[in-house]
């Protein structure tokens, strides 16, 4: 099967190429019908599916065949969303049991991924046995796999035999000079190869693997870690190349590097990008590529809907005691999946209507504004400011409302008496909201209210339980009406 060429739409400067849509956040609008069909219920690709469907990962693949400067194999890797080798490592048999136990108990679980703790394709027996059995025993579960790409060309044939719905390749560069600053060594043909030579082989394998997967009709997503001063300038080119080869999504993630991780970047003081730098890069790439902006770099061993982790309910000793009738569970899952699909469709239709109504209105000419939203899902503003572990960032402009990204915060209100540190954590949260001019939440306390105002971020609790896009647009219009937003057309006239 030939993959349809994506991004044939005239390149737009910002994320939305369908200029008329009032709500411009939906990544799926860009995709061909065939791919949309494949990914619309995928919690990692569709912002709304995030809130209805769940994915899980199993840690079956401990070995790795390369070294990345942002990784310390001992610990959970924040960058590649893989658990450390110290986390619970499962045998393929245990992984199959666990997956089926979770699927039977959390019917929303539709996707099983293998992402580590090492490289799944450097552990082919363990990875493929897990896939082989799940394809047979639980055919309603989609499988996905993430890889550094080194062993990918050798695995494509085997991958194409299973229920694989997509493959994620982490591609941080296409230039060995840049690669040598990211990958100190690879293990290749029975030798450790360091520096540029190693990076060159890795890059060739990644590109070859990408091409082979596309030729087989397997969806490919590309992840890149943005490392300021190392590959930040280079990633626009990466984006262009992987797109031209047929990757359907490019996800740029920020480097996370702390000295206590003991990684090269952590110890050497390499910084990660700021939220605004990341956003600027995502913006500069999005004309080229369907960027996945809502990736939360979720932990690879998390279980459940995004933002929740029910892993404790499914530890190996608990699973051993569970009796799972998967045939029966599959029937039940099917009914629930249908109901969810209906709900999602009706929400999408509502959104579409709102967008059309919006398009019919008289257009504002004010400048765009970033706003942060606290939500626990269902597309509603339904979370207390102090409880939010992350905020969704939206851009409101005369074109409509566009989803931009997630920003994580440190929870400042932990409910215990560690409130001595509360203030710095609150400051951290406010720093995470840099660039936003309003924050919408169900409620906000007195103290954060004042600090937010001081930081120039207007707290807003007036739209509790309202749909996000509508509320963001309402606030934008209020700001415009109150004369808080300079008129772009006037500005242009003035400078002309």
Partner 1 sequence: MALKIIESCVNCFACEPLCPSKAIYEAKPHFLINPKKCTECEDDYKEPQCASICPIEGAILDALGVPINPPGSLTGIPPEKMAEAMAELQAH
Cβ closest to ligand SF4, residue 70 vs residue 403: 70
Q: Which is nearer to partner 1, 60 or 103 (CB)?
A: 60
Q: Is 317 exposed, middle or buried (0-12, 13-18, 19+ CB in 10 A)?
A: exposed
Q: Of partner 1, ligand SF4, none, which one does residue 326 interact with (CB within 5 to 8 Å by kind)? A: none
Q: Give the one residue of 88, 175, 185, 256 binding partner 1; rule: CB under 8 A.
A: 185
Binding partner of 267, given ligand SF4, partner 1, none, CB within 5-8 angstroms per partner class: partner 1
In terms of Cα–Cα distance, which of 353, 366, 388, 364 is closest to 461? 388
CB atoms within 10 A of CB 492: 10
Q: Which is nearer to partner 1, 388 or 425 (CB)?
A: 425
Among the listed residues 66, 76, 150, the one whose alpha carbon sits nearest the alpha carbon of residue 117: 76
Number of helical H runs and strand E runs in the chain? 16, 15
Of 50 and 73, the one with the shorter C-beta distance to ligand SF4 is: 73
Between CA 272 and CA 278, with CA 277 as vertex, the angle to 5 degrees is: 75
**Cα–Cα distance measured from residue 320 to residue 323, given in angstroms and rounded to the nearest whole number:** 8
Q: Which residues form the interface with ligand SF4 (CB under 6 A)?
A: 64, 66-68, 71, 77, 80, 82, 116, 118-119, 148
**Using the rule CB under 8 A, which residue among 5, 86, 357, 481 binds partner 1?**
86
Interacting partner of 327 out of ligand SF4, partner 1, none (Cβ under 5 to 8 A depending on kind) = none
Q: Would you say 39 or 71 has its CB closer to ligand SF4?
A: 71
Site map 255..294 versus partner 1, x via CB under 8 A: ----xx-xxx-xxx--------------------------
> Nearer Cβ to partner 1, position 82 or 407?
82
- Nearest one of 172, 170, 200 to 186, comparing CA atoms: 200
> Distance (Å, rounded) from C-alpha 142 to C-alpha 177?
37
**Residue 190 lies near partner 1 (rule: CB under 8 A):** yes
H or E segment to which residue 252 belongs: strand 249-254
Could you tell which of partner 1, ligand SF4, none binds residue 68, using a CB distance below 5 to 8 A set by kind? ligand SF4
- CB of residue 260 vs partner 1: minimum separation in angstroms? 6
Three-state DSSP at 135 gives helix
Question: Going edge to edge, which strands form the sheet with 66-67?
Answer: 66-67, 185-188, 191-194
CB of 118 to partner 1, least distance (A): 6
With CB under 8 A as the rule, give the number of residues binding partner 1.
Answer: 28
Pick from ligand SF4, partner 1, none: which does 69 bind, CB < 5 to 8 A by kind? partner 1
Cis peptide before 78 (omega within 30 of 0): no
Nearest residue (CB) to ligand SF4, 256 versus 464:
256
Helix, strand or coil, per DSSP, at residue 226: strand
Answer yes or no whether residue 73 interacts with partner 1 by CB under 8 A: yes
Least distance (Å) between residue 82 CB and ligand SF4: 6
CB proximity list for 53: less than 8 A, separation 6 or greater: 41, 42, 43, 108, 109, 110, 111, 305, 340
Residues 6+ apart with CB under 8 A from 334: 140
Kindly state whether residue 122 participates in binding partner 1, applying the rule CB under 8 A: yes
Contact 179, 193 (CB under 8 A): no
Q: Which stretch binds partner 1 (CB under 8 A): 2-10, 58-66, 235-243, 416-424?
A: 58-66
Cβ 93 to partner 1 shortest distance, Å:
16
Using CB distances below 5 to 8 A depending on partner kind, what does residue 297 bind out of ligand SF4, partner 1, none? none
Contact between 196 and 175 (Cβ < 8 Å): no
Pick one of ligand SF4, partner 1, none as the site partner of residue 142 (Cβ within 5 to 8 A by kind): none
- Cα–Cα distance, 101 to 112 (Å, whole number): 12
**With CB cut-offs between 5 and 8 Å by kind, which of partner 1, ligand SF4, none does residue 148 bind?**
ligand SF4
For the bound state, the minimum distance from the C-beta of residue 211 to ligand SF4, rounded and expressed in Å, comes to 20
Q: What beta strand segments (E) does 176-218 contain? A: 185-188, 191-194
Q: Which residues bind partner 1 (CB under 8 A)?
A: 62-65, 67, 69, 73-74, 85-86, 117-118, 122-123, 184-185, 187, 190-192, 259-260, 262-264, 266-268
């Amino acid at each position: 099967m030939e993959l349809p060429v994506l991004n044939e739409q005239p390149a737009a400067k910002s994320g939305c190429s369908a200029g008329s849509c009032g709500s411009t956040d939906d990544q799926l609008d860009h995709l061909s019908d065939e791919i949309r069909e494949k990914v619309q219920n995928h919690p990692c690709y569709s912002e709304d599916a995030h809130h209805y469907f769940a994915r899980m990962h199993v840690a079956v693949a401990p070995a790795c065949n390369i070294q990345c400067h942002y990784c310390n194999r001992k610990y959970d890797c924040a960058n590649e969303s893989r658990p450390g080798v110290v986390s619970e490592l499962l045998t393929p048999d245990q992984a199959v049991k666990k997956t089926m136990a979770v699927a039977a108990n959390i019917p929303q679980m539709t996707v099983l991924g293998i992402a580590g703790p090492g490289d799944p394709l450097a552990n082919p027996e363990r990875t493929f046995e897990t896939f082989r059995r799940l394809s047979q025993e639980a055919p309603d579960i989609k499988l996905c796999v993430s890889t550094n790409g080194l062993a990918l060309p050798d695995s494509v044939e085997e991958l194409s035999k299973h229920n694989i719905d997509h493959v994620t390749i982490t591609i941080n560069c296409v230039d060995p000079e840049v690669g040598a600053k990211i990958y100190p060594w690879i293990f290749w043909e029975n030798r450790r190869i360091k520096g540029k030579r190693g990076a060159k082989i890795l890059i060739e394998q990644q590109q070859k693997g990408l091409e082979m997967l596309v030729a087989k009709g397997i969806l490919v997503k590309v992840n890149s870690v943005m490392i300021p001063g190392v590959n930040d300038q280079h990633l626009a080119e990466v984006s262009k190349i992987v797109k031209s080869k047929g990757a359907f999504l490019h996800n740029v993630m920020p480097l996370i590097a702390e000295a206590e991780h003991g990684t090269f970047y952590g110890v050497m003081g390499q910084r990660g990008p700021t939220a605004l730098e990341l956003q600027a890069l995502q913006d500069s790439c999005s004309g080229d590529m369907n960027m996945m902006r809502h990736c939360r770099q979720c932990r690879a061993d998390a279980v459940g809907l995004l933002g929740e982790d029910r892993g404790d309910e499914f530890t190996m000793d608990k699973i051993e005691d569970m009796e799972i009738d998967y045939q029966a569970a599959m029937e039940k899952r099917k009914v629930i999946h249908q109901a969810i699909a209906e709900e999602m469709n009706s929400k999408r239709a509502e959104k579409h209507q709102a967008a059309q109504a919006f398009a019919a209105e008289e257009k504002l000419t004010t400048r765009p504004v970033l706003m942060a939203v606290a939500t626990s899902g269902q597309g509603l503003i339904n979370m207390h400011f102090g409880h939010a572990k992350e905020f969704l960032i939206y851009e409101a402009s005369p074109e409509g409302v566009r989803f931009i990204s997630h920003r994580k915060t440190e929870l400042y209100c932990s409910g215990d008496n560690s409130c001595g540190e509360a203030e710095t954590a609150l400051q951290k949260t406010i720093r995470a909201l840099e660039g936003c001019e309003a924050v919408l939440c169900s409620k906000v306390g007195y103290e954060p209210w004042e600090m937010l105002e001081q930081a120039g971020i207007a707290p807003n609790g007036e739209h509790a339980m309202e749909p996000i896009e509508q509320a963001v647009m309402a606030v934008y219009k209020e700001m415009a009406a109150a004369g808080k937003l300079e008129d772009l057309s006037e500005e242009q006239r003035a400078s002309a």
